[in-house]
Structure 1
């Protein structure tokens, strides 16, 4: 009888869903510089990056760091104000390093960095069943136009809410409040004020764009390239804007 009660009256309900996690791809293994850069990000936008969960991706390096160096990086990032939560899947050495650091390995997170047509190494069946990667960074085929009808949101997206338009564009007819997040694999069109976060091209499509009528965004991103409000020229705030990617540089321009 007791076990039956446990089955139907759980003390904790576990749901697997989309998770907003930042990805730090290491290009140069310079621990003091990496820590300094992260501290600057946190100081510039504490509401976005303070105590943010971060996945460390060593896939851009020719050689995986040793345990001592990797641990120094993790400790430095924590001191800078973020929380390293996992390593991105790479090689067998990466898997061993994750075990030595007592961190999980997210098998799908590096996919958005792969060239078109490439795929991340397949994890074991056990790992695939136990690991959960953010949906926005899941591996995808070559970027293409949205394959589903666009997602339409008629009511305001309120603080704490998150919308995700998978394999399609997203149109919001009202406002996106501060603390809210809208994500699309395609482009994003907002016909009201954008005060929260907007992330287009979530699976790596660099041709996607963000349009909004009134620009106050906490953060905007296309295919992983982002800007926070503190980096946006003041003359663009509150204006209708278009946001796009040009040679890995995020561009923001006013529209008439």
Structure 2
């Protein structure tokens, strides 16, 4: 009989390492179940900003509808979005009907990741979802609680801002949870910086900057050289194609005024 030491050792190392982290993902809140219109709007977004939206992962959120659609209608929408150039990867968490629909579609349900990107209660649905240049649009990293809940999480007294001393390179993401973010160098194309407070960039901004991620409409974005792929405050965003060329390369500040995103040269 072989001794225990003669048996081969078990390999307990996993074949794949799974980590849960901050995920950059868009949230499409459906307000009118018009597949052709929704697909056309998405195709226009992809056309205007392909670096941001082409093959972008999208959560489909049916919470804006009076009733959850049937599986056939939902599949038609998913097919339309894929043809438009994005990749629907999940449904937003919602009712028990929504959960049943996700099973029928073979998609997961995803709740919030990090941010609040719902439009304000007084914002018109059509304006929030319009695909015209320079329109306010909700971009989401995820589904999220109501704005009142997001604002109910005040920053701790004396909470210091997060300082990023090295460049933020393509594919990297820096997130300042419940505080401001200061980047001492540059934010490269394809990189993303996010803060629940304001974002300060002392170099060129070539990637994406999102301030007020939990719904703070008083947050601002400052940068020394503006080449941003996208800027957003409390879910209201603009892409570079929507911004006057005379602002490109300039030191600017970005803020929200009367639910409209403003960008101006720093004097």
TM-score range, shorter chain: 0.7 to 0.9
Corresponding position of 2:48: 44
Question: What residue in structure 2 maps to residue 142 of structure 1?
Answer: 151
User: Which residue in 2 is equivalent to 1:176?
Assistant: 187
Does residue 193 (structure 1) correspond to residue 182 (structure 2)? The answer is: no
Cα contact 1:193–1:216 (8 A) shared by 2: yes
- Are the counterparts in 2 of residues 137 and 202 from structure 1 also a CA contact under 8 Å? no
The question of whether the paired residues in 2 share the 8 Å contact of 1:143 and 1:203 is answered with no
Distance 1:169 1:88, change over 3 A: same
Matches of residues 69-84 of structure 1 in structure 2 within 5 Å?
69-84=73-88
CA–CA separation in structure 2 for the residues paired with 1:100 and 1:242: 46
Shift of the alpha carbon at 1:137?
Answer: 5.9
**Displacement of 1:114:** 8.9
- TM-score by length of structure 1 reads 0.85
Cross-structure match for 2:31: 27
CA distance, structure 2, for counterparts of residue 201 and residue 3 of structure 1: 52
Measured after TM superposition, the shift of residue 70 of structure 1 is 1.0
Tell me what 2:132 maps to: none
How many residues of Structure 1 are paired with residues of Structure 2 in the alignment? Answer: 237
Would the alpha carbon gap of residues 18 and 251 (structure 1) be closer, same or farther in structure 2, given more than 3 Å must change?
same
Quote the residue 2:245 is aligned against.
234
* Structure 2: gaps of 5 or more residues: 1-6, 122-139
TM alignment of 1:240-255, pairs within 5 A: 240-255=251-266
Matched, 1:4 2:10: yes
Q: Partners in 2 of 1:25 and 1:35 — Cα distance?
A: 13
Moved more, 134-143 or 221-230: 134-143
Q: Which runs of 5+ in 1 are unaligned?
A: 117-133
Larger Rg computed on CA atoms: 2
Structure-1 residue corresponding to 2:169: 158
Question: 1:93: how far off?
Answer: 1.4
TM-score normalised by length of structure 2: 0.82
Displacement of 1:101: 1.1
Instruction: Report the CA distance between 1:135 and its aligned residue.
Output: 7.8
- Find the counterpart in structure 1 of residue 105 from structure 2: 101
- CA contact under 8 A between 1:42 and 1:81: conserved in structure 2? yes
- Asked if structure 2 preserves the Cα contact closer than 8 Å seen for 1:242 and 1:254, the reply is yes
Distance 1:160 1:146 in 2: 28
Relative distance call for 1:166 and 1:3 in structure 2 (3 A) is: farther
Cα 1:167–1:15, aligned 2, differ >3 Å: closer, same or farther? same
**Following the alignment from structure 2 to structure 1, what is the Cα–Cα distance between the partners of residues 16 and 154?**
40
* Structure 2 Cα separation of the partners of residues 202 and 111 of structure 1: 5
